[in-house]
Structure 1
């Protein structure tokens, strides 16, 4: 992770999602950073300057940068490009840029409208308020930090899931992947050779699911048999000989058992049915 200065400067007066989320990002990277709001950057200022001053983290000057897809950068996007990879890696940084940063950048540059930007804007004092605008700015930054930290933690959670599922895939047999606990698995298993995934259920026991194909049909590589769909636990036991098989979804993508062994047995039997 790149180190950043302990002091930063942005514009004063009315604030927007761009300078607020830029500030939130810098405070997440360096909680000790001091943010100064001003209307003019002094000469020889030794710190990060953004959304003002025409420097590398401003976007108001002629020739300001535009992404390859045509979305112009704002300060938040420029700072995220600089520091995002160090927080979550290149792939996830690009994904967050596309899904979260770019809509905010586009709104700041075009006024096209964005729900999150509208919420941040509501932190500004109303026209007849005596509230201090800088205090309101800090409240907005604290709020934006919660949003951004939740986004980052969600990404890190997905990265942890990817590692767990990849490890289980590498130690799987018969194209049936058994997870030690539930974790998001589709990003790893859909492009793999896995047909089924087994994991502990939040309702107790174990669930087994068919893995979808890579195309857009949502079809499964292998479905559970039509004869199992919607049957009672007693009917399923009689049909399959699997003692703890107690549920099969009507859409045949999921079954429930009491043990991991029976879940694996159900997957193997589904192939042979």
Structure 2
């Protein structure tokens, strides 16, 4: 990382507008927002700022894909196609993406952690800490949390899921709470910790039941779409929903799933060889990887092509027809390549 003073840390009162993409969200941009919250405006309302109904503070947070709005934001992460920390740009989806010293690609969270992590730690800690302690904490979190997020978001290694027991345990006050704050405060914090844990467990249970309901509904729709498919290798879904469970449980020969990703975009997602793992039964064409819009349209011949991920597991077009065309072209290119290699 280059040496510079990150935007917002040079002036503790200046207003800052941070922006990431709208639509489907993942752990890296969600964590990225949390890092910026604690680094720049820890006293603000983390939840209601996202909802847009919080009392104004120095950090404004926007989720959009509008190129015009992206240009005006002070900090842009996980979108925009530019990595330039000196100007507040923290995307990582380019062909020449930023890498860690060991070669691991950064995610947006990893890039923001480099610049804002220590400031976030200082604001989170209840008591002041010297630079050595901050650096040690930063390194520990980088290894245990940020690096796995980087690996997961870039298709290097999948994160393990936190157990509910771990989440509940994390709600408990640290062992030295009584030592730091006294027995009465420790008792109060233990009560608040239990309340927080109960809320987390209740939310988890409700969500799990609702997801189970939705999974049953998705199963019927996936099988209906498969029965109607002209090419059984391409599954076209009119609504985004989980599909891998049915594909692997029924040993369906699906290679690509085409589904809407918003009002003006349809994605083509490659199915992995084994459920839940990275990799693809058939990767998207190498020539497409990392390209966007006109560059991708020129190479692919699909005029409304939007993007193709550098890892070649997902691409998209503005229309259903364009996305289906990309899936068909990818299969044709793969077949031609295999024939050439066999000769």
Pairwise TM-score range, normalised by the shorter structure:
0.3 to 0.5
Q: Which has the higher helix share?
A: 2
TM-score where L is the length of structure 1 = 0.47
Structure of larger gyration radius: 1
